[in-house]
Amino acid sequence: MLFHVTMTVRLPADMPPDAAADLKAREKAIAADLQRGGKWRHLWRVAGAYANVSIFDVADNAELHDILTGLPLFPYMDIAVTPLCRHPSSVRDGDA
């Protein structure tokens, strides 16, 4: 199943810089592994915001939930999820 996910990160202003750097480094490593594995299909930065728009390709809602809640930055994110399905007017044979 494909999901469009928007994540906006809101780190506390009083978070120590070293703690923020550690969270970001762990997040980056996990995101890279998920991308290499095909679960995190696309990742785009939202210009002017600490946010991203992503496409996930997972088995079901539960797998997406587990991935998102397992992200180190999850406690500091506002997340919006939209399930996607193929549009009948699409001229492409697949979702690539």
Contact partners, residue 5, CB within 8 Å, separation at least 6 = 53, 54, 55, 56, 64, 68, 79, 80, 81, 82
2-84: which CATH number, 3.40.50.300, 3.40.50.150, 3.30.70.1060, 3.40.50.1820? 3.30.70.1060
Q: What is the mean pLDDT of the chain?
A: 95
Q: What are phi and psi of 51, to 5 degrees?
A: -155, 160
Residue 28 has pLDDT above 80, yes or no: yes
Short-list 11, 4, 7, 57, CA closest to 34: 57
Residue 96 has pLDDT above 60, yes or no: no
Residue 52 has pLDDT above 80, yes or no: yes
According to DSSP H, which parts of the chain are helical? 17-36, 61-69
Q: For the whole model, what pTM was predicted?
A: 0.91
